[in-house]
Structure 1
Amino acid sequence: MTVNVLVPSSLSREAEDKREATRKLGYVARAATIFRADRLIVYPDRDGETGRFDDGFVSTVLRYAATPPYLRNEAWGMRDELEYVGVLPPLRAVSQTGSESNGSGSTRQGIVTEVGPEGRVRVNCGLQHPISLNTPPSMEVAEGERVTVRISSRRPVRAKLVDGPLPGLSVERTDLSTALGREDAGVCIASSRHGAELTVGRLETLAGRVDRDGMTVAFGAPERGLPEILGIEASDVVAAYDAADVDDRVDVEPTDLGFDLWLNTVPNQGSKVVRTEEALFATLAPLSLQE
Structure 2
Amino acid sequence: MPPQKKRKHYNPGHIDTSKPSANPILKDHGQKYTLSVALPGSIIANSQTPELKTALAGSVTPPLETFSLINKIARSLAIFNVDEIVIYDDTPKKSDDQHPYMEKHAGLSASDIFLAKILQYLETPQYLRKSIFPMHRDLKFAGLLNPLDCPHHLRIDDDLPFREGITLLDFAKNGTLVDAGLRLRVFVPGKRIHQNTRVTVRIKKNYGEYIEGEIVPSTTPKQEVGLYWGYKVRIADSISAVFTESPYTNGYDITLGTSERGDEISSISIPEFSHMLVVFGGLAGIEYAIDNDPALEIQGSDAKELFDLWINTCPEQGSRTIRTEEAVLITLGQLRGPIKEKGII
For residues 271 and 102 of structure 1, do their structure 2 counterparts lie closer, same or farther at Cα, with a shift above 3 Å needed?
farther
User: CA–CA distance in 1 between the matches of 2:57 and 2:126?
Assistant: 16
Tell me if the contact between 1:187 and 1:214 (Cα under 8 Å) persists in the aligned partners: yes
User: CA–CA distance in 2 between the matches of 1:226 and 1:121?
Assistant: 46
Tell me if the contact between 1:198 and 1:267 (Cα under 8 Å) persists in the aligned partners: no
Return the offset for 1:22.
Answer: 0.8
Partner in structure 2 of residue 213 of structure 1: 274
**What is the TM-score normalised by the length of structure 1?**
0.79
For residues 217 and 155 of structure 1, do their structure 2 counterparts lie closer, same or farther at Cα, with a shift above 3 Å needed?
farther
Structure 1 SS opposite 2:316 = coil
Partner in structure 2 of residue 81 of structure 1: 138
For residues 146 and 270 of structure 1, do their structure 2 counterparts lie closer, same or farther at Cα, with a shift above 3 Å needed?
same
Return the offset for 1:41.
Answer: 1.1
* Bigger radius of gyration: 2
User: CA–CA distance in 2 between the matches of 1:214 and 1:32?
Assistant: 16
For residues 159 and 286 of structure 1, do their structure 2 counterparts lie closer, same or farther at Cα, with a shift above 3 Å needed?
farther
Partner in structure 1 of residue 258 of structure 2: 191
The answer to whether the aligner puts 1:141 opposite 2:193 as a matched pair is yes
Tell me if the contact between 1:121 and 1:133 (Cα under 8 Å) persists in the aligned partners: yes
Tell me if the contact between 1:115 and 1:142 (Cα under 8 Å) persists in the aligned partners: no
For residues 14 and 272 of structure 1, do their structure 2 counterparts lie closer, same or farther at Cα, with a shift above 3 Å needed?
farther
User: CA–CA distance in 1 between the matches of 2:317 and 2:207?
Assistant: 52
**What are the superposed Cα offsets for residues 53-106 of structure 1, whole Å, 9 maximum, x if unpaired?**
5222111111111111111111102011111102222111123348xx723xx3
Superposition pairs for residues 65-76 of structure 1, below 5 Å?
A: 65-76=122-133
The answer to whether the aligner puts 1:180 opposite 2:243 as a matched pair is yes
1:17 to 49, 52, 59: 49
- Partner AA of 2:243 in structure 1: L
CA RMSD of aligned residues (A): 2.6
- Partner AA of 2:91 in structure 1: R
User: CA–CA distance in 2 between the matches of 1:268 and 1:128?
Assistant: 54
Return the offset for 1:142.
Answer: 0.6
Superposition pairs for residues 146-161 of structure 1, below 5 Å?
A: 146-152=198-204, 158-161=211-214
Structure 1 SS opposite 2:42 = coil
Partner in structure 1 of residue 317 of structure 2: 269
User: CA–CA distance in 2 between the matches of 1:85 and 1:135?
Assistant: 37
Structure 1 SS opposite 2:328 = helix
Superposition pairs for residues 35-184 of structure 1, below 5 Å?
A: 35-47=80-92, 51-52=104-105, 53-97=110-154, 102-103=159-160, 106-136=161-191, 140-152=192-204, 158-165=211-218, 167-174=229-236, 175-181=238-244, 182=246, 183-184=250-251
For residues 135 and 60 of structure 1, do their structure 2 counterparts lie closer, same or farther at Cα, with a shift above 3 Å needed?
farther
Tell me if the contact between 2:253 and 2:275 (Cα under 8 Å) persists in the aligned partners: yes
Return the offset for 1:184.
Answer: 4.2
Long gaps (5+) in structure 1: 241-254
Return the offset for 1:149.
Answer: 0.8
For residues 35 and 92 of structure 1, do their structure 2 counterparts lie closer, same or farther at Cα, with a shift above 3 Å needed?
same
For residues 85 and 230 of structure 1, do their structure 2 counterparts lie closer, same or farther at Cα, with a shift above 3 Å needed?
same
Tell me if the contact between 1:11 and 1:58 (Cα under 8 Å) persists in the aligned partners: no
Tell me if the contact between 2:239 and 2:290 (Cα under 8 Å) persists in the aligned partners: no
- Partner AA of 2:333 in structure 1: A
Long gaps (5+) in structure 2: 1-32, 59-71, 94-98, 220-228, 292-297
Structure 1 SS opposite 2:288 = helix
- Partner AA of 1:268 in structure 2: E
User: CA–CA distance in 1 between the matches of 2:281 and 2:212?
Assistant: 42
Tell me if the contact between 1:9 and 1:46 (Cα under 8 Å) persists in the aligned partners: no
**What are the superposed Cα offsets for residues 147-174 of structure 1, whole Å, 9 maximum, x if unpaired?**
1111246796644132423642111112
Tell me if the contact between 2:89 and 2:289 (Cα under 8 Å) persists in the aligned partners: no
**What is the TM-score normalised by the length of structure 2?**
0.68
User: CA–CA distance in 2 between the matches of 1:277 and 1:85?
Assistant: 18
User: CA–CA distance in 2 between the matches of 1:155 and 1:225?
Assistant: 56
How many residues of Structure 1 are paired with residues of Structure 2 in the alignment? 259
**What are the superposed Cα offsets for residues 86-135 of structure 1, whole Å, 9 maximum, x if unpaired?**
2222111123348xx723xx322111121322232221111134333324
Partner in structure 2 of residue 33 of structure 1: 78
For residues 262 and 155 of structure 1, do their structure 2 counterparts lie closer, same or farther at Cα, with a shift above 3 Å needed?
farther
User: CA–CA distance in 2 between the matches of 1:23 and 1:218?
Assistant: 22
Return the offset for 1:233.
Answer: 6.3
For residues 154 and 83 of structure 1, do their structure 2 counterparts lie closer, same or farther at Cα, with a shift above 3 Å needed?
farther
Percent of aligned pairs with the same amino acid: 28
Tell me if the contact between 2:187 and 2:212 (Cα under 8 Å) persists in the aligned partners: no
